[in-house]
Chains A and B, each alone.
Chain A
């Protein structure tokens, strides 16, 4: 033990740590694998101007809040915190694993914040400073408020129920005197009334807001029932009466608050995921001044006509025209094309594309919101507004339910007044109707199913981002897929490995690891590329040149390697590379963007279930057609721009279809936002993940089928829950109208219906176990 602990200590200072949990990652190393480049991440951190985010607390210590990426397990927490604390200036370093945030407090004297966090970034945990005031979200406060109300209601419900049970027991044994009963009623009143006043506020406020707007929502009958029940019970207690509903009013609040809390927690989780993605977008640009020197500025200050320098591995911050240089650009985010395009002086380039092989200098033509990227964001926002019109199932039912309940209560009141002649008695029966019909089970019907379903999906690595996503997904009849990165892995892989000798592959890999070009990366992945560093020259758009032991070696396209047009195998038209060693025969490397595992099965499955499947891609026609053939998709559309995709979805919608969009690229983001419901892989562009309702992790496409299955099962369960709640009403309401409901019947009926609804929802979880067997 001592040995291991010591080892841990040593390794921590070296930036590595041993596996603590058994099957989780060894932090630093894994984080480093996920990170693009620690050096670039550090530049990003510095260019985000961290000193502007540093605050001073009342003791004069400096404070910084940052977001942390690539955190996976306990080891990551430990590595980050201990690495930071090993610096004597640091007073406090605390990671919040749930929200992926880091809080740092240190002595400000002579300590540069960049130097302080550099070791963390070097370990592969990119940091982004943020202003905590910006994201103190209303949802989190609302959550805490609901939790407090829930605690108060729970306390009151338990204690009042304790007293009520004694009263009921006395009722049956008939030996409780009226004095004792009144005494217990008074104590109940003292507990219940403050609890109702405090814990009922979320409902009262929402009901008031609805009434002011001239609408009725579920909270109106809830508030009425709770207030009237408490008020009437107080009147009964004062008169020494028998019909006291304190227990009903507080348990009602307790159950409803559970539903409200679950609902709110799901919603705020979705929101914080989106917030996090938006906060990570800190962009800087390096501009070239007229005297030739460079300066890093924030991207907003770049004006058209400014020359911007783009290093290898940088994303373009603005749209522009290439002024100097020649390079390969990864345009997959914008067009969905899997191969980079070669640009040289005079070519138009777009913000959001990634520079792969050589430094470029571009002259900005459009900046900020005017760039193609800005257009896409605008398209997406416009599309999202359309979707906000969706009315949730529970709210649709409330639209019928609330008026019906109020009319029923009014009829009961008038009926009893006319028949029995006493308005006090009539009022009591009307209140009994309101209590019985109070949508307690209805309030739980949707949130409980949602929580169970989200939990089940989470186990499979699927995150539910939109609170109403499952409801919308269950209505879908058409599925539109994007190609690159969605049906395929969006990553090129070597396909003719067996035709190449290991020696050649390793040599090629050794050269290729110097380049960021997707084909070179594929070669580097296929071979091990070990051996000493080679001095490689990259010719953008052509290939790589190296000299080993006096022999010239080239890795690149046909013309670059002097290969005649008809050489090599042409069976699979796809991207290729050639390896030419001086005086030897050139060797062909062929690549293909592989299908995601499970893609074919999932498509067949979905077609068999009667879904209409479309393929919508920005890639070239031949590539899309080939893929559509392989997967058996009849409706495919190639070379679609983002706005074409949105138009396609709109036309499907106009034809009465409810569309599920599955996509990953930046170019899909507007389509994802405008579809009835959307899904994207975790490898997708940030903005697409923000737009999507569901995000699935892992490579397997079967997550799509699983999500649809769970969504449909949830809808079935929600309808079952509603039916159960209505069935209960159908039995209890006539009793209430007839005036034979006692507080005991009300309490039992209400708790029973809520329990039945919860248990029914849990069946979703049981079925998972069944599937696993």
Chain B
């Protein structure tokens, strides 16, 4: 059962990583304009023209 001593911290760490990523995305305003994000994907980048 000693393997639990590694596995439980690993599981908690991975879960915590997910939580931290979510809280970061929330804080950096990624949920503030959901409709806009859906539309912006249709806009071409300015620099990707083939000349």
Knowing A21-B42, A77-B43, A148-B26, say if A98 contacts B16 (CB, 8 Å).
Answer: no
Mask of B1-27 contacts with A, CB within 8 angstroms, 1/0: 100100010011001101100110010
Cα–Cα distance between A148 and B44 once the two chains are bound (Å): 33
A95 with B1: CB separation less than 8 A: no
CB contacts (< 8 Å) of B23 on chain A: these are 148, 151
Among the interface residues A2, A6, A97, which one has the most CB atoms of the partner chain B within 10 A? A97
B33 with A97: CB separation less than 8 A: yes
CB contacts (< 8 Å) of A155 on chain B: these are 15-16, 18-19
Contact of B44 among A5, A96, A97, A183 (CB under 8 A): A5
A43 → chain B, closest Cβ, in Å?
29
A73 with B39: CB separation less than 8 A: yes
Knowing A2-B50, A180-B1, say if A144 contacts B12 (CB, 8 Å).
Answer: no
A191 with B12: CB separation less than 8 A: yes
B18 with A74: CB separation less than 8 A: no
Contact of A159 among B11, B26, B33, B39 (CB under 8 A): B11
B42 with A74: CB separation less than 8 A: yes
Mostly helix, strand, loop or mixed at chain A's interface? helix
Knowing A20-B42, A20-B43, A78-B43, say if A96 contacts B22 (CB, 8 Å).
Answer: no
Cα–Cα distance between A603 and B43 once the two chains are bound (Å): 44
CB contacts (< 8 Å) of B48 on chain A: these are 5
B30 → chain A, closest Cβ, in Å?
11
Contact of A8 among B1, B15, B26, B44 (CB under 8 A): B44
Cα–Cα distance between A471 and B45 once the two chains are bound (Å): 46
B8 with A98: CB separation less than 8 A: no
B33 with A99: CB separation less than 8 A: yes
CB contacts (< 8 Å) of B11 on chain A: these are 159, 162
CB contacts (< 8 Å) of B42 on chain A: these are 20-21, 73-74
Cα–Cα distance between A719 and B32 once the two chains are bound (Å): 34
Q: Is A152 an interface residue (CB 8 A)?
A: yes
Cα–Cα distance between A78 and B46 once the two chains are bound (Å): 10
Knowing A5-B49, A6-B49, A74-B39, say if A159 contacts B15 (CB, 8 Å).
Answer: yes
Contact of A187 among B8, B19, B32 (CB under 8 A): B8
Cα–Cα distance between A652 and B22 once the two chains are bound (Å): 52
CB contacts (< 8 Å) of B31 on chain A: these are 144, 147
B34 with A98: CB separation less than 8 A: yes
CB contacts (< 8 Å) of B34 on chain A: these are 98
Q: Is A158 an interface residue (CB 8 A)?
A: yes
A98 with B50: CB separation less than 8 A: no
Within 8 A of B (CB), among A132-184: 144, 147-148, 151-152, 154-155, 158-159, 162-163, 180, 183
The 6 closest A-B pairs by CB, nearest first: A97-B36, A74-B42, A74-B39, A155-B19, A5-B49, A2-B50
25 A-B interface contacts by CB (under 8 A): A1-B50, A2-B50, A2-B51, A5-B44, A5-B49, A73-B42, A74-B40, A74-B42, A74-B43, A77-B40, A77-B43, A82-B46, A97-B36, A98-B33, A144-B26, A151-B19, A151-B22, A151-B26, A152-B19, A155-B15, A159-B11, A163-B8, A183-B4, A187-B12, A191-B12
B interface residues with partner A (beta carbon < 8 Å)? 1, 4, 8, 11-12, 15-16, 18-19, 22-23, 26, 31-36, 39-44, 46, 48-51
Besides A98-B36, A158-B15, 20 other CB < 8 A contacts?
A: A2-B49, A2-B50, A5-B48, A6-B49, A8-B44, A20-B43, A73-B42, A74-B40, A97-B36, A99-B33, A144-B26, A148-B23, A148-B26, A151-B22, A151-B26, A154-B19, A155-B18, A155-B19, A187-B12, A191-B12
